[in-house]
Amino acid sequence: MEEGTFQRIQPWERVADQQQNAGSLSQSSVASAEDLRLVEALRSGNESAFVSLVNMYHSLMLRLAMIFVPSETIAEEVVQDTWMGVLHGLDRFEGRSALKTWIFRILTNRAKTRAQREGRSVPFSSLPEFTTELQEPAIEPERFHGPDHQWPGHWVSFPRSWEEIPEERILSQETMTRIQEAIDTLPVGQREVITLRDIEGCTSEEACDLLGVSEANQRVLLHRARCKVRRALERYFEDE
Amino acid sequence: MTNSDQNELNCQQVVELVTDYLEQALLPEKQAQFEQHIEKCPGCDTFLEQVQQTIMMLRKLSEQQTFPETKQELLEIFQNWKQDESKSDFPMI
C-alpha cells in the first residue's frame, strides 16, 4: 500500500529503509566495548558468546516479532532466521550502532517482510491509526467531573489503592496473564514501545532509535500503553 | 482553595503527565505543579503509584518467559554457521 508523506509518520517507515544496510548506519548509540568484545568472540566462533547473546535478546526478539506476525510459530522462525542473519552479517557490523539496535533492525526487517508474505499489512505505516494513538486521552474522560461541575477535571471517585493486595496476587501467574492480554489488545505502536521500555527495560534512546519515533511521541505512546494496562489491572483487582 | 488558579493542574491534566514526570521530561515549573498536586490529592497519588506498580509488574513479565526448546535449534544454527565459516576461511589453493 502506498503511504502518505506526512513528515511525522515517516520515521516509522525510515526504519525499514535503514535495515537494508543496518551495519553501516551512523547511530547516536554506538557499540559499547562489551558489544565489540562479543562480536569479536562470535567471529572467532566462541559458542558461549553466542549463548549469552541469545540469553540477552532472544525473548525480546520473539516478543517483538509477535507484534508483526500472526503466530508464535512464525515468530520463532523469524527469530531463528534473524540469528542466522546476525551470524552471517557479523563481518558487516562496524560498531557504529549498538549491537542490540543492529540485531533488532535485522529482526524488524525480517518480521515485516514475513508479515507481508503472510498477508498481514505492516501496521506502523497506518497514518490514521498512529495519529489516533497520539491524540486519544490516556484515561477515560468519564472518570473526571465535566466542565460544568464545581470541580472540573477532578476525579469522580478516586482509584482504589492496591496497597492491600497481597504481593503473591500482584505477581501471580494470573496477573501476568491479564497483563499480557492487555498488551495484546494495544495498538501496535503502543505495544512495541511498552514491550521495549517496560518489559525489556530498553532506554528511551534505544526505543526511539529502533522505532524511528521522536522522544515526545515515544512518551505519548508509552503513557497510553501504561494507562491501558493499569486500567486492565484495576478492573481485574476490583473484580474480586 | 484556588481551583481556578491557572497555575494549578486538575486531576485529569495530572494523570496525562505521569509518564512525562517519571521520564523527567517535564519543565521545572510543570514538575513543581505536578508535585504540588500529587501531595494534596490522594486520587492522583494513588494513580501515580499504580502506574509505577504496573511498570514493576511489566518488568516481571520479561523474567517469566524462557524458550528452552528453541535454544538447541539455535545452537545448531551456530554450529552450522561455524562450520561454513571455517570452510570459507580455509586458504584457496
| Domain range for A162 | 126-238
Residue of A122 and A30 predicted with greater confidence: A30
A222 and A204 both lie in a single domain: yes
At A68 the pLDDT is 81
A153 and A214 both lie in a single domain: yes
The C-alpha atoms of residue A83 and residue A87 are separated, in whole angstroms, by 6
Q: What is the interface size between A and B, counted as CB pairs within 8 Å?
A: 139
Domain for residue A1, yes or no?
Answer: no
At A6 the pLDDT is 28
At A157 the pLDDT is 94
Over residues A37-64, the pLDDT tens digits come to 999 999 999 999 999 899 888 888 888 8
Mean of per-residue pLDDT scores for chain A? 81
Domain for residue B59, yes or no?
Answer: yes
Interface of A with B in 113-152 (CB under 8 A): 137-139, 141, 143-144, 151-152
Element (H, E) at A192: helix A188-194
Domain for residue A143, yes or no?
Answer: yes
- Chain B contact set for A59 (CB, 8 A): 62, 65-67
A135 and A170 both lie in a single domain: yes
At B38 the pLDDT is 97
The answer to whether the Cβ–Cβ distance between B10 and A199 falls below 8 Å is no
Confidence of residue A126 (pLDDT cuts 50, 70, 90): very low
A117 and A130 both lie in a single domain: no
Over residues A26-37, the pLDDT tens digits come to 344 678 888 999
A14 and A116 both lie in a single domain: yes
Candidates B25, B67, B82; nearest CB to A58:
B67
pTM, two decimals, is 0.74
Residue of A89 and B66 predicted with greater confidence: A89
Domain for residue B16, yes or no?
Answer: yes
Closest-CA distance of chain B to residue A56, Å = 11
A100 and A188 both lie in a single domain: no
At A19 the pLDDT is 35
Domain for residue B2, yes or no?
Answer: no
When pLDDT is averaged across residues B35-57 and rounded to a whole number, the result is: 96
A33 and A110 both lie in a single domain: yes
Residue of B5 and A119 predicted with greater confidence: A119
Query: Total structural domains in chain A?
Result: 2
C-alpha separations of B49 from A160, A203, B9, B15, B54 in Å: 11, 21, 18, 11, 9
A83 and A138 both lie in a single domain: no
The C-alpha atoms of residue A23 and residue A122 are separated, in whole angstroms, by 23
Domain for residue B3, yes or no?
Answer: no
Domain for residue A155, yes or no?
Answer: yes
| Per-residue pLDDT at A12 exceeds 50 | no
- Chain A contact set for B85 (CB, 8 A): 45
The answer to whether the Cβ–Cβ distance between A80 and B70 falls below 8 Å is yes
Domain for residue B48, yes or no?
Answer: yes
Percent of chain A with pLDDT over 70: 81
| Per-residue pLDDT at A10 exceeds 90 | no
A130 and A233 both lie in a single domain: yes
What is the residue whose three cell numbers read 516509522?
Answer: A12
| Per-residue pLDDT at A187 exceeds 90 | no
Domain edge (last residue) among A104, A121, A138: A121
Q: Is B91 exposed, middle or buried (0-12, 13-18, 19+ CB in 10 A)?
A: exposed
A63 and A137 both lie in a single domain: no
The C-alpha atoms of residue A65 and residue A85 are separated, in whole angstroms, by 15
Residue of A150 and A17 predicted with greater confidence: A150
Query: B62 at the A interface (CB within 8 A)?
Result: yes
At A29 the pLDDT is 66
Percent of chain B with pLDDT over 90: 59
Over residues A102-115, the pLDDT tens digits come to 998 899 889 989 98
C-alpha separations of A223 from B12, B16, B55 in Å: 14, 8, 11
At A21 the pLDDT is 34
| Per-residue pLDDT at A1 exceeds 50 | no
Q: Phi and psi dihedrals of B17, rounded to 5?
A: -100, 0
**In CATH, what number is assigned to the domain containing residue B64?**
1.10.10
A29 and A114 both lie in a single domain: yes
| Domain range for B76 | 11-86
Query: Total structural domains in chain B?
Result: 1
**In CATH, what number is assigned to the domain containing residue A234?**
1.10.10.10
When pLDDT is averaged across residues A217-222 and rounded to a whole number, the result is: 94
**In CATH, what number is assigned to the domain containing residue A97?**
1.10.1740.10
| Per-residue pLDDT at B92 exceeds 60 | no
Q: How many helices (H) and strands (E) does chain A have?
A: 11, 0
Closest-CA distance of chain B to residue A3, Å = 30
Domain for residue A3, yes or no?
Answer: no
Candidates A47, A79, A155; nearest CB to B11:
A155
A130 and A63 both lie in a single domain: no
Domain edge (last residue) among A63, A87, A121: A121
